[in-house]
Amino acid sequence: GTQKFRFDFVPPILVVPADKASQSIGAAGDNSVLFTWQKTNFTEKYEFQLATDLEFKNIISKKTLKENFFVGEVPKVGVYYWRVQAFSKKINSGFGKANELNLTP
């Protein structure tokens, strides 16, 4: 018989900002944040989500991206959570653990 090829499609590992990282909004009011994660095999696209709560009920940014990074505007000082999932042709990885980001003045 033929063996069905199966592998666990794991979520991308989040890289920057690290979990519980703090970043200050620049004096110029520059509130853009670089988010990066590890590339995953067999991936066609990623979905990035940024929320104000760990349950991701209040998502403030949601993007579908081909690359393993995104520069996003974070609206104001506060605590945010971000996560990423990967999509291949037929399946997605689901979301991994979210990282917490503290935006300070």
Q: How does pLDDT run across 41-81, given as a tens digit for each residue?
A: 889 999 999 999 999 999 999 999 999 999 998 888 999 99
Mean pLDDT of 86-95: 93
pTM: 0.89
* Residue 31 pLDDT grade (very low, low, confident, very high; cuts 50, 70, 90): confident
* Residue 25 pLDDT grade (very low, low, confident, very high; cuts 50, 70, 90): confident
What count of Cα atoms within 13 Å lies in the side-chain half-sphere of residue 60?
A: 15
* Residue 18 DSSP one-character state: P
Instruction: List, in order, residues 6 or more apart from 74 with CB less than 8 Å away.
Output: 31, 32, 33, 50, 80, 101, 103
* Alpha-carbon span 54 to 82, nearest angstrom: 9
* Alpha-carbon span 53 to 16, nearest angstrom: 19
Mean pLDDT of 88-95: 92
